[in-house]
Amino acid sequence: MTNNVDPVTVEIIRNSLNSCADDMNATLVRSAFSPIIFEGRDCAVALHDEEGRTLGQCSGVPVFLGNIDVCVKLAIERYGEDLQSGDVVIMNDSYLQGSHLHDVTTVSPIFFEGECVAFAATRAHWQDVGGMDAGTTTSSTSIYQEGLRLGPTRIARSYEIIPEWEELLRLNSRLPDALIGDLNAQISAMRYGEKRMTDILDRFGVDVFLGARDKMFENTANNERQLIAGLPDCTYKAHGYMDNDGLGDEPVKIAVSVTIEGERMIVDLDGTSPSVEGAMNCGLPQTLSVVRLAYQSVINPAESINGGSFLTLETRVPEDCLLNAREPAACEWYFSPLGLLADLIIDCLGQAMPERAVAASYGDSMIVSFTGRSAERGQWIIFEPTAGGWGGSPGRDGESALINLSNGTFRNIPAEVYESQVPVRIEEFSIRKDSCGAGERRGGCGVVRSYRTLEDCDIALWFERSLTPGWGIFGGHSGSPPAIEIQQPDGVVHSNLKMRPTRLPAGTLVRTMTGGGGGYGNARNRAAELVALDVSNGFISEKEARDTYGVMLIGSEHADLEEA
């Protein structure tokens, strides 16, 4: 191996690895069958070295990117030397890879001159992997109710799915064609990755490639060490509560401490609730992934992740903890507590680095799901997360109506697409006035999204963060918590934030309201012109301007100003 690869070659190889991952992801998105992948981009792609360390990766869903390496290592452990070019290993086990069973990871080895030199990997959301309810379930109490569970399993040879495996997968899904279509899209992406990696290795040779890899890891690790060493040694703490586990009424505590100790950062989740009965447990790898995501977002947001990342970061999770799920804990909604966890870690890091502090966000995926069966459409499912408000920061207001941290590049489904596909009409999609946390830099507003059912169908809801909404920092106020109003045509009204699949009659109105982001700094210090602009743009009411910001607006003519 060459130890002295010049900085130019290191940079060319680093760029080409990330570009390769981007192209793999483009291949996956282009050829996927399910809207949640091609429209929602609920997928991610990464390249790893022969030990499973990250070489390059592509943005998609950020919570996937911090732990695909775990799956590559599992595939290596399971098959080792037995892996051949064109083999595809898949897995979705919640305890091994951390997520729910819908998220399916694929791993393929990349060979060069007879040696396994790298791995291509993808993860994508499969819409239906069996389980007690179509699409998603809110009421599972064990993993066995959530669908087909796969440990690392070789499912294809020479990139062709083994026929008996295809039959098994098809038999376990309500949407078998989409499932196989999506799996083939993932395989296409990995095939592309192999081809491109071979080109890169052809050009540079294995020695230079490995030398550049080591240099790249070393540079990233050194950079992170310096960044952490520059912070004062101290311990910062934060905690909050999830509303409940989806079954009972008990709040569920999430507690975090962040300790800076020289060049190391220790994130400890001691004090966090034990496993819960409801489907809100999360396997350790996803917990680690979110710790990494929060760390990356504050410490080094402009840099890409590789095998040198996170070497300064240590995460401690108690044995019996809902963020360290053990069989048979239910994990369908694993991502929900992770939103609060991320906000808490960001809060701790903001105490350590006040210039990079950001107030908490609305913080949950806020899922609305409708399912039904009709003569015209057969079985249908539609499922989407909802945007909300983000936190203010020094010099900047939080953004309104933006998707939560764990859903990254997810775009809302246009009403015209939604209504063309399912018998549900969207009657409103708007900014939720006065939901933003007040502050010198205010939080962003949540949204109002209203659905009218046109046929009898089942609705499931999972809205969180009413006990711990997006909180303010340095004197800023909290954003509004989420709210739900369901009005049946017979006058029955519900306001539950979580709802297991429930049959609703045609004509029911489901009005969902997501929370706002927390404010930064004292609201009384906000410039009066900005308050006036917020009123004219509909983010806050005149009453809020007067009562919270102390700004009286006279007449309807407002200053013609640009937003901060």
Partner 1 sequence: MNKVVSSTGSVRVSADIGGTFTDIVVQDQRTGSTTTRKIPSTPDNPANAVLQGLREVSETACIDYFIHGTTIGLNAVLERSGAKTALVTTKGFSDCYAIQGNDRRDIYALDYRKPRTLVPPRDIFSVRERIDAKGRIIESVQMSDLDAVIEACERENYEALAICFLFSFKNSVHEIQARDYLAAHLPQLSISLSSTVSPEWREFARTSTTVLNAYTAPPVKRYLDQLVGEIRQIAPMTNVCVMSSNGGGMPANTAGEKAIRTLLSGPVGGGIGGEHLSKLLDRPNLMCVDMGGTSFDASLVVNGKVALSSEAEIEGLPIQTPMVDIHVVGAGGGSIARASDGTLRVGPESAGSRPGPVCYGRGGVEPTVTDANVVLGRINPENFSGGAMSIDKTAADNAVGNLAKTLGMGLEKMAEGIIAVADAKMADAMRSITIARGIDPRSFTLVVYGGAGPLHAASIARSLQIKEVIIPLFPGVFSAWGMLQSDIRHDFKTALLSPLSSLDLNVLEDGFQTLAEESTRLVQAEGLETSKVTNCRFMDLRYIGQEFAHTCPLPDGPVDIANVVTAFHEIYEDHCGHSNPTAPVEVTNLRLRTTCHIEKPENVAADPDTNRQYAKSVFVTGDSGGKWIDVHHASRNLLEPATVYDGPMVIEEATTTTYVPHGWDVRTHESGHMFLRDKEA
Task: Return the residues of window 200-239 that contact partner 1 according to CB under 8 A.
Answer: 215-216, 219-220, 222-223
For residues 135 and 128, the answer to whether their CB atoms sit within 8 Å is: yes
Q: Quick check: 529 binds partner 1 (CB under 8 A)?
A: no
Q: How far is the CB of 227 from partner 1 (least distance, A)?
A: 11
- CB nearer to partner 1: give 249 or 376: 376
Which of 278, 286, 13 has the alpha carbon at shortest distance from 123? 286
Bridge partners, residue 458, by sequence: 371, 503
Question: What are the start-end ranges of the H helices in 279-334?
Answer: 284-299
Q: How far is the CB of 365 from partner 1 (least distance, A)?
A: 12
The single residue among 285, 337, 372, 408 that binds partner 1, judged by CB under 8 A, is: 408
Distance, in Å, from the CA atom of 378 to the CA atom of 372, rounded to the nearest integer, reads 8
Q: Quick check: 14 binds partner 1 (CB under 8 A)?
A: yes
- CB nearer to partner 1: give 419 or 529: 419
The single residue among 112, 334, 410, 463 that binds partner 1, judged by CB under 8 A, is: 410
Q: How far is the CB of 59 from partner 1 (least distance, A)?
A: 5
Number of Cβ within 10 Å of residue 319's Cβ equals 7
Q: How far is the CB of 86 from partner 1 (least distance, A)?
A: 15
Give, as ranges, the residues between 318 and 377 that touch partner 1 (CB under 8 A): 346, 358
Given strand 234-242, what is the order of strands in its sheet?
234-242, 252-261, 264-268, 313-316
The stretch among 106-114, 236-244, 325-333, 420-428 that binds partner 1 (CB under 8 A) is 420-428
Quick check: helix, strand or coil at residue 38? helix
Which of 248, 118, 251 has the alpha carbon at shortest distance from 194? 118
What would the x/- binding string for partner 1 be over residues 536 to 555, using CB under 8 A? xxxx----------------
Q: How far is the CB of 69 from partner 1 (least distance, A)?
A: 17
The single residue among 122, 281, 287, 412 that binds partner 1, judged by CB under 8 A, is: 412
Which of 40, 154, 92, 421 has the alpha carbon at shortest distance from 283? 92
Number of Cβ within 10 Å of residue 165's Cβ equals 17
Which of 435, 453, 446 has the alpha carbon at shortest distance from 510? 453
What would the x/- binding string for partner 1 be over residues 27 to 66, using CB under 8 A? x--xx-xxx--xx-x-----------------xx-x----
Q: Quick check: 474 binds partner 1 (CB under 8 A)?
A: no
- CB nearer to partner 1: give 135 or 391: 391
Rounded to the nearest 10 degrees, the angle between the axes of helix 176-204 and helix 7-31 is 160
Structure tokens at 474: 């340095």
The single residue among 340, 431, 459, 461 that binds partner 1, judged by CB under 8 A, is: 431
- CB nearer to partner 1: give 277 or 399: 399
- CB nearer to partner 1: give 69 or 146: 69
- CB nearer to partner 1: give 11 or 263: 11
Q: Quick check: 4 binds partner 1 (CB under 8 A)?
A: no
Give, as ranges, the residues between 275 and 314 that touch partner 1 (CB under 8 A): 293, 296-298, 301-302
The stretch among 108-116, 312-320, 467-475, 535-543 that binds partner 1 (CB under 8 A) is 535-543
Q: What is the DSSP string of 474-543?
A: TTPPPPPPPEEEEE-TTS-EE--SEEEEEEE-TT-EEEEEPPPPPPBS-GGGS-HHHHHHHHHTTSS-HH
Give, as ranges, the residues between 122 and 181 that touch partner 1 (CB under 8 A): 177-178, 181
The single residue among 230, 274, 354, 414 that binds partner 1, judged by CB under 8 A, is: 414
Distance, in Å, from the CA atom of 345 to the CA atom of 296, rounded to the nearest integer, reads 11
Q: How many residues does the chain have?
A: 564
The stretch among 114-122, 149-157, 269-277, 402-410 that binds partner 1 (CB under 8 A) is 402-410
202 Cβ contact partners less than 8 Å away, ≥ 6 residues apart: none
Number of Cβ within 10 Å of residue 490's Cβ equals 8
